[in-house]
Structure 1
């Protein structure tokens, strides 16, 4: 029984790490003040409302209207992006350090996996 629990736990950690690995960043803040903030996932034609802590993949497109804003924190760097109607639509990019190494968030994910 204990072995089964350990195997299930490790499987869940690996699945979570795989999902996080595919993500290049996440939404850290959504301010839908008099407007909306939406994302169109890569390969989709449908726009969906954004939520805080939502994972983002390279190629996802974010749009905001009127006074809405979104802050995206990239996993592979210390960079972030603030998206407002003035810079909307915004395409999520994959950022890597110049020396090819991943940032601190990715290092932590690698330790878990």
Structure 2
């Protein structure tokens, strides 16, 4: 049994009727791009990650921007750390906050880079 999550999600925020036209068009384009590619669940997540880094999936090979830097955060699970990547403003302005982009699929099929 998994421990109860610290995150509460309001399912109404994911109602498809609230999606704007531009986002719907973008999603349709992605679906078409991925239609003929390998399925990660058929080749396995580890193999798919490698294929993705080598540019062997329908999406272009990832580009890791040199401006970012990596670090880790402690996990609530003993002996485990959570990797992250941070980008500072290129104009030298000190940030007053952060934007956390948490994407579960990205952590399974890619990395923080």
Normalised TM-score (structure 1): 0.24
Name the larger-Rg structure. 2
Normalised TM-score (structure 2): 0.24
